[in-house]
Amino acid sequence: MTPSAPLPTGLDEAAHGCLVAGFTGTTTVPDPLKRLIDRGLGGVILFTRNVRDAEQVRVLTDTLRALRPDLIVAIDNEGGGIGHLVSADAPDVPGSYALGVADDSELTARCADALAGHLATLGITASYAPVADLQHHPRNPIVRTRAFGAEPALAARHLRAWIAATERRGVASCAKHFPGHGGTETDSHHGMAVDPRPYDELRADFEPFRAAVDAGVPMIMSAHVVFPALDPERPATLSRRILGDLLRHELDFDGVLVSDALEMKAIADRYGEAAGARIALAAGADQVVVAVPDLEVTLACRDAVLGALRDGVLAEERVWEAAGRVRRLAGRYAAPAAAVAGWDTGAGLAAARRAVRLSGVPAAVRGAHLVDLFPSPHPALNWGGEDLLTALRAVDPAATGTAVTGEPEDPDALAGRLVRETGEAPLAVATCDAALHPWQARLRDALLSRRPDAVRIDTGLPEGGALCSYGRGRVNMRALAEALTGV
């Protein structure tokens, strides 16, 4: 085949099947995306930008499938504060860490069932969840309460429950981010993450993925993380050693291996999205995700893959293999269920209540002045920025307070003002991962120096507070408010 020759129709379609594209729009499909779908695009990924309400989402997914019935329509749907379907009436469930703290596999299954049932009503049949990473590095900035916990056995049993419940709804689940993102100090959205641990220490992180494979998970997502003990040259997404030797052969996974988004800086800054697509497929990925709505980026990735096929840099056999797995996935999951049964609407709050931990809190703190400190929402994860004060006032209308979402110019002056506003009322100070955001610790300590009787609350991982919710989803906030007020 000469470099300028067009690819055979079947191979061109197979190569397009290895792509998952993001796009802009809530009611119409952009023309470039239509052309990609016509040539065999394997899937699309929806974000908040594609969501207005539930009825609109279902019309959009029906429109997409009218263009190609075997198109996989996917979304990130982890629960807790991570999700894009709030305006589409998404069920409220806590994040995975709270489910691990509650440690009731049946309750986890009920929460996963609610999420999957809701997706099915919207015509979304693939969920890039659950997180199978273990959260064990105290300064990890990206996994944290998205994980079920730090223990492999605990994560494994909740992964099995989640995957089985999602499967019963006819929705594809996806364990991520292989072989684990929980041992890094860098968020791969922002730069190359490295896990320097030796192989013997890494083995524990493989076990939740092994459990997911044994549970029949149909998809696994790779991590943009370098593991020197596994492959000192390339991140997992681009590593044949990790995707092939470890995942395919040692863990015996034969489902669809999908990359994390290629525009993340761990890939884009060092390799570029287009080269990342080509290398990932050559290394063993079956689909590569380009989540940004700029379809020119997707087209550049597509062109790099087609060019590599023409040049012989990317083996045709590798693309046929990947496309075959994608076709099998689509055959099982592309079409949404004709009818969707209801789900347990109370499971999420029940789990969040079970997860709250208390230490030394009075029986009821009423009429408190709450200072809620938390970072700005992560732009990729689209956490909604739920605040604790709203939940607290729902159960205690006498409560007052303020939310602080960024570093103040003068923490000491702000602390003085907030204490004056509190007056004689009880003071509660909530932080979210203050160890990662030192401004929170400075403001919290300035408040406590003035009011040592203040109740400390942790809304992320525990940091010495009297209460901890293990997450900032809406039901986490509600459960915290109930625990504080004794409701």
Reading across the β-sheet that carries 231-235, which strands appear in turn?
193-194, 225-227, 231-235
Pick the catalytic residue: 189, 224, 369, 437? 189
Task: Identify the pLDDT of residue 379.
Answer: 75
Task: Identify the pLDDT of residue 82.
Answer: 82
pLDDT digits (tens, 9 = 90+) for 101-123: 999 999 999 999 999 999 999 99
Distance CA 143, CA 154 (A): 16
Catalytic residue status for 433:
no
Task: Identify the pLDDT of residue 377.
Answer: 81
pLDDT digits (tens, 9 = 90+) for 3-32: 457 888 899 999 999 999 999 999 999 999
CA-to-CA separations, 417 to 105, 183, 398, 442, in angstroms, rounded = 46, 39, 20, 15
pLDDT digits (tens, 9 = 90+) for 420-441: 999 999 999 999 999 999 999 9
Catalytic residue status for 189:
yes
**Domains, the chain, with CATH or none:** 9-333 (3.20.20.300), 356-485 (3.40.50)
For residue 211, is pLDDT > 90?
yes
DSSP element (H, E) containing 482? helix 474-485
Pair 206, 174: CB distance under 8 Å? no
Average pLDDT of span 47-63: 97
Pair 167, 255: CB distance under 8 Å? no
Cβ contacts of residue 9 below 8 Å, gap of 6+? none
Query: Where do the H-state alpha helices sit in 215-313?
Result: 240, 265-268, 273-283, 295-311
Task: Identify the pLDDT of residue 1.
Answer: 37
Q: Mean pLDDT over all residues of the chain?
A: 96
Cβ contacts of residue 174 below 8 Å, gap of 6+? 126, 127, 128, 129, 217, 218, 219, 220, 221, 258
Average pLDDT of span 463-486: 96
Task: Identify the pLDDT of residue 386.
Answer: 81
Pick the catalytic residue: 76, 133, 260, 396? 260
Task: Identify the pLDDT of residue 360.
Answer: 78
Average pLDDT of span 303-307: 98
Distance CA 353, CA 347 (A): 10
Question: What confidence category does residue 192 fall into, taking pLDDT thresholds of 50, 70 and 90?
Answer: very high
Structure letter (DSSP) for residue 229: T
Task: Identify the pLDDT of residue 317.
Answer: 98
pTM equals 0.96
pLDDT digits (tens, 9 = 90+) for 258-294: 999 999 999 999 999 999 999 999 999 999 999 999 9
Question: What confidence category does residue 384 fall into, taking pLDDT thresholds of 50, 70 and 90?
Answer: low
Task: Identify the pLDDT of residue 241.
Answer: 98
Average pLDDT of span 369-391: 85
| Measured torsion, CA atoms of residues 92, 94, 100, 106, in degrees rounded to the nearest 10 | -10
pLDDT digits (tens, 9 = 90+) for 153-187: 999 999 999 999 999 999 999 999 999 999 999 99
Question: What confidence category does residue 383 fall into, taking pLDDT thresholds of 50, 70 and 90?
Answer: low
